[in-house]
Structure 1
Amino acid sequence: MDRVPVSTLSGIGAVTQKRLEEAGIGTVADLRALGSVEAYRRLRFMSPRQVSLNALYALEAALRGCHWLDLPSSVKTVLQQEATAIDEALRRGLSPRCRRD
């Protein structure tokens, strides 16, 4: 059952499916094994300007079998914290590593 394409999950559209596949996440089993946060991290690092917090909500909701608007606020809070940490890591990765002494 989990070997089916991620596109079969509710809330995963064609654009997200393509991005997931480019990140090596082609099946529901792949997404379940990584989890929504790791999948989002990969997408953000691949396309930082095109992937937003809503993508993380959609991935989590797809794994839970619900609409992202129906995620409990406590889950959204945790996801927001995870997204903030990922964004900070992304900023560090794109900033110059050399410093002037």
Structure 2
Amino acid sequence: MNEAAKLRNIGPKSSAWLRQVGLRTREDLAEAGPVEAFMRIKRAGFKPTLNLLYSIEGALHDCHWQDVAPERRAELVEAAEAAIAGLPAPRHKPPAGPVRTTVLTADTVAERPASDSD
């Protein structure tokens, strides 16, 4: 986000995440709002913390993220948790089984049964 780099609280990593989810200007960010911006980043596979949510809110109001009122923080967290609850459950694949390596030597090649293609 070109302009986001100039926004208060938005550092290079957050700015890159915002750009990657299509939020390139302050206007884009204001239109989406803090919760939607946070959720876009989360849905994109990044791992944002609640500090990013507060930082976006602070950036939109030109205040430090720690100055966001506790009541507003609670509202943001509640909205984000509701949105997160609506996301599909992550699909975790079981870990792969052990890898077995077979080393072919002259002895093991001689022991293999002959096939029609040999």
Name segments (4+ residues, structure 1) moved above 2 Å: 92-96
For residues 6-26 of structure 1, give each alpha carbon's deviation from its aligned partner in whole angstroms, at most 9, with x where no partner exists. Answer: 111010000000000000001
Aligned to 1:6: 4
Gaps of 5+ in 1: 97-101
Are residue 15 (structure 1) and residue 8 (structure 2) matched? Answer: no
TM-score, with length taken from structure 2: 0.70
Aligned to 1:99: none
Provide the aligned length of Structure 1 versus Structure 2. Answer: 91
- Ranked by relative contact order (alpha carbons within 8 Å, sequence separation 6 or more), the top structure is 1
Gaps of 5+ in 2: 93-118
SS in 2 for 1:35: helix
Higher helix share: 1
TM-score, with length taken from structure 1: 0.81
**Separation in 1, partners of 2:77, 2:91:** 22
* Aligned residues: CA RMSD: 1.7
